[in-house]
Structure 1
C-alpha cells in the first residue's frame, strides 16, 4: 500500500513566504488569523496566505493575515556550497573523529545470571524477577 498526501492548493505555497490569497484560492471575503474571530472581513486581495511548518504534519498549515499582522518572510538558509567550503578549510585536528567502536561481546565481562529466569542479577546477587539468591 502506498500512502500519498492529497493534492490541493496548499501544496503550491512555499513555507514561510507571504502570498496574496486571491492568487492562490478565490472565494468570499474572510478574516485575518491575527485579528481573530471578531475582526472585520477582508477582501482576498487584501489578505496574505502564509504556510507555516507543523511538527507532526509535513504539509504544514496555512493562515491568512492582513497587512498589520503579516509575518516577515523567513531568512533563506545558507547555501550548501558555503558549508562544504567551511568543512574543507577546517584543519584535520578540528575535524570530528570517528566514534569509538563498540566492545566485542567476547571482551565483555560475564555477569551472573539467574538459573530460573535467565536475567542478569544485581550486584548484591538477588534476582529482580523471582527474588532468588544467586552466588
Structure 2
C-alpha cells in the first residue's frame, strides 16, 4: 500500500479549471502568490496564468496531468488550491476532482484512497467503546 498522494501523479485540477482567488492573495497586495503568475479577472479577483484560456494549464504546474507533477509555488499557492481536495470537508467525494481526472482518462482519486479509508474506519471502530465485534 502506498502512502503517496494520488495528487502527485495527477495534476488534473491544475489543467481543467480556472484557478480564481481574491486579489489580496497576490504579492503586490500583501499575499503570497507571485504577481507575474497571475492575471486580473475582475476588480476583486485574479487567476493563475494559463487557467484563463483553453487548453487550461496552470503556469505553476510542472509536468503533464496523469504523470508525475508538482507545483512551482506549492507553499505560496492560492486558497482555491489549498482548499481543493479529493474529499469535501464532509467526507464526500469531490465531484470536481473526479470530473477533472476523467478529462485526462484517470479513474476517480477516491479509488486510490479506498484501502486507507477502510483502515481509518476500522481504527475508528476499534477506538469506539460502543461498537463491539461479534467473534
Could you say which TM-score interval applies, normalised by the shorter chain? Answer: under 0.3
More helix by share: 2
| Larger-gyration structure (1/2) | 1
